[in-house]
Structure 1
Amino acid sequence: MTKKSTVVWGIIGCGDVAEVKSGPAFQKCNNSELLAVMRRDADKAKDFAKRHNVPLWYDNAEELLGNPDITSVYIATPPSTHLSLSLKALKARKDVYLEKPMVLSVEESDALVKAVNNSNNKLVVAHYRRFLPMYIKVKELLEANIIGAINYTDLRFLQPYNFNSKATWRLNSTISGGGYFHDIAPHQIDLMYHFFGDVESIKGVSVNQSGRHEVDDMVNGLVSFKNNVQFRGIWSFDIPKYLEEDKCTIYGENGTIEFSFYEDELTLTLKEKKETFNFKNPINIQQPMIQETVNYFLGKRNNPCPVEDGDLVISIMETFTKK
């Protein structure tokens, strides 16, 4: 068999996420080609393909998966279809780049891990923040022991009601898995694992404080890592506007590292010294991760985010929110 030199992509689900965050990156990355897109609404699929200079479009996922020229697929549909589409893609002998949250539950996650391990094809979870400049810097600071031994990390993500008014489907637990927390937290939790390693124990509680929707809008979580680092996180999606907050602080014996998930600024504090770092993300914010995924699919590196990492994130989220 001739070793492939280019990853030829098909996108399943060319909605808002694919429009800027990810879609164009498949055409910008080295050794990467975007051949086709799919959306159930044929007119919208055709429009996306025309605007982004994509040769082919489909309104049926099976037809896209049946194209022998496509070697890999990006699944960017709502989470309720992630498992079924991933299984179909693997069966069609396609490599998979899968949006977060990876699946809806631990049960689905176990099924996907088994399918990937029994397949000759590859799967990467789209926890793309691992390869953004600010988080690369955080990891570098931690590995260089700049703030000394890490004691604990405090995460506070407090948002007013309807902070993402365009994402109303995320308030339907059968589609999203459980509200805005299940959309926002996967990246944040994955970064904690990326920074601190294997997990020892998990505890959590979630409640529906406002009663506006069927899903919980307040989540508290505790994680103890095997290296004894402690994590405490709180997420609220119905907080008064004046209490809005987006902050993560890593406390070490010699100082702190502080950053926000939606601002590209990091503050390093060492006793009397404070230093601020500013970062600029690529226009297509998933491009660095997609490039690493392309390299992995071509056999040039290890997996940038394996299905097992996605499985851990789903397990933590489910433990935080289960009744």
Structure 2
Amino acid sequence: MINWGILGCGDVTEIKSGPAFNKVGNSRVEAVMRRNASKAEDYAKRHAVDKWYSKADDLINDANINAIYIATPPAPHKDYALQALKAGKNVYIEKPVTLNSVECKELIEAEKRYGKKVVVAHYRRAQPFFLKLKELIDQEVIGDIRLVDLKLYQQPGSEAIAKTEENWRINPEISGGGLFFDLAPHQLDILVHIFGKPLAFNGFSVNQRKTEPVADVTLGQILFAKDVAFTGTWCFNSLPEDEVERCEIIGSKGKISFSFFSANMSLTANGKTIHFDFPPMQHVQQAMIAKTVDYFAGVNGENPCSLQDALVSMEVMENFMTVKV
């Protein structure tokens, strides 16, 4: 049985992840933690969790807990993960995994040193939508892949961007690098998962509006194996009528057009277009959590998303985030 302790029982754990830990086999939530004790207690009572804490050390050192889910903003990820590994606990950690690649490498070494397991919550890898996307690419349904073109344009304050009490996503000391750093990990990780480790990449960011301390436009290019060429543009200062979130994978026999965040996909080949419909998932992380539980329990020896996997997209993002003035 994997007995979980959740560090940071905030908004992301209400529906997306938290309830799923009690819905997969051999898994239960033992305790939750939040610095605000009353909010931790409220969460625990609403989700039928027996214990709650206001200090991370108390939860990490709870003898009944053998796995820690780190669901805080990125700034404390590294330190919490190090504490958990040292305490002999396996770790499931939200994305972006750390503030930067240096911290991620520290965790890789700690995972080896303490002999425990770490999984990064790039949960789209386990969802039926992206499993289907990978299947279509692997089966060469659209032939040899030529181009991957990604566009994400959002107006300032877009409703598509998650809201929190404190807008920590635009504070680089907490988030690591603004809205690009928050959203791009989902996208880049899937592309790396499908096409493999990049052979080369280059990009830059600019702060056009200068109303926040982070860049609001990012452009990047990647060369994957088999000459697959990627170009991506992220703009968080677009006009409302220009908002778009779309990725096209163009091959020698057709193309696949899809959205990372709204789960719609179409395949065009041989003059015909097929649309794929996927029912909404109540808890978007449940499939990934199930794989993580199996990995922690030794049922499955394959890590569903390792620190080494997360490091690849982290290094790409850091390159793209180089600010040009």
TM-score for both structures, normalised by structure 1: 0.97
Taking the aligned partners of 2:163 and 2:253, their CA distance within structure 1 comes to: 42
- 84 and 158 in structure 1: CA distance in 2 versus 1, 3 angstrom threshold: same
What does 1:123-142 align with in structure 2 at a 5 Å threshold? 123-142=118-137
Structure 1 stretch displaced more, 87-96 or 273-282: 273-282
- 86 and 46 in structure 1: CA distance in 2 versus 1, 3 angstrom threshold: same
Q: 1:127–1:305: 8 Å Cα contact kept in structure 2? A: yes
Quote the residue 1:321 is aligned against.
Answer: 321
Quote the residue 1:228 is aligned against.
Answer: 227
Deviation of 1:271 (Å):
3.2
Taking the aligned partners of 1:270 and 1:40, their CA distance within structure 2 comes to: 53
Quote the residue 1:244 is aligned against.
Answer: 243
Quote the residue 1:23 is aligned against.
Answer: 18
Deviation of 1:165 (Å):
6.8
In the alignment, which of 18, 39, 54 is matched to residue 49 of structure 2? 54
* SS of 2:58 mapped into structure 1: helix
Return structure 1 stretches of 4+ with deviation > 3 angstroms: none
Taking the aligned partners of 2:143 and 2:280, their CA distance within structure 1 comes to: 28
List runs of 5+ in structure 1 lacking aligned partners.
Answer: 1-5
Taking the aligned partners of 1:299 and 1:194, their CA distance within structure 2 comes to: 23
In the alignment, which of 76, 81, 84 is matched to residue 79 of structure 2? 84
Taking the aligned partners of 1:149 and 1:263, their CA distance within structure 2 comes to: 26
Taking the aligned partners of 1:227 and 1:110, their CA distance within structure 2 comes to: 28
Structure 1 stretch displaced more, 140-149 or 259-268: 259-268
Q: 1:10–1:73: 8 Å Cα contact kept in structure 2? A: yes
Deviation of 1:282 (Å):
2.0
Deviation of 1:119 (Å):
2.1
Q: 1:133–1:280: 8 Å Cα contact kept in structure 2? A: no
* SS of 2:152 mapped into structure 1: strand
Number of equivalent positions? 318
- 227 and 116 in structure 1: CA distance in 2 versus 1, 3 angstrom threshold: farther
Deviation of 1:204 (Å):
0.4
Taking the aligned partners of 2:279 and 2:76, their CA distance within structure 1 comes to: 33
CA offset digits 1:90-149 (Å, max 9, x no partner): 001000000000001121122111111222110000000011111111011011110001
Q: 2:197–2:312: 8 Å Cα contact kept in structure 1? A: no
Quote the residue 1:299 is aligned against.
Answer: 298
* SS of 1:199 mapped into structure 2: coil
* SS of 1:277 mapped into structure 2: strand
* SS of 1:115 mapped into structure 2: helix
Q: Which amino acid aligns with 1:151?
A: R
1:189 partnered with 2:188: yes
Taking the aligned partners of 2:177 and 2:132, their CA distance within structure 1 comes to: 32
Taking the aligned partners of 2:92 and 2:98, their CA distance within structure 1 comes to: 13
Structure 1 stretch displaced more, 114-123 or 72-81: 114-123
1:148 partnered with 2:147: no
Deviation of 1:315 (Å):
0.5
Structure 1 stretch displaced more, 303-312 or 258-267: 258-267
Q: 1:113–1:311: 8 Å Cα contact kept in structure 2? A: no
Quote the residue 2:163 is aligned against.
Answer: 166
CA offset digits 1:216-264 (Å, max 9, x no partner): 0000011111232111111011110110000000000000011012222
Q: 1:132–1:281: 8 Å Cα contact kept in structure 2? A: no
List runs of 5+ in structure 2 lacking aligned partners.
Answer: none
Quote the residue 1:178 is aligned against.
Answer: 177
Q: 2:169–2:177: 8 Å Cα contact kept in structure 1? A: yes
Taking the aligned partners of 1:252 and 1:300, their CA distance within structure 2 comes to: 37
CA offset digits 1:137-193 (Å, max 9, x no partner): 101101111000101100001100012372411010000011111110101000000
Taking the aligned partners of 1:119 and 1:240, their CA distance within structure 2 comes to: 49
Deviation of 1:78 (Å):
0.7
Deviation of 1:209 (Å):
0.9
Deviation of 1:68 (Å):
1.1
* SS of 1:124 mapped into structure 2: strand
Taking the aligned partners of 1:190 and 1:126, their CA distance within structure 2 comes to: 11
Quote the residue 2:6 is aligned against.
Answer: 11
Q: 1:173–1:215: 8 Å Cα contact kept in structure 2? A: yes
Q: Which amino acid aligns with 1:161?
A: P
Taking the aligned partners of 1:311 and 1:112, their CA distance within structure 2 comes to: 10
Quote the residue 1:121 is aligned against.
Answer: 116
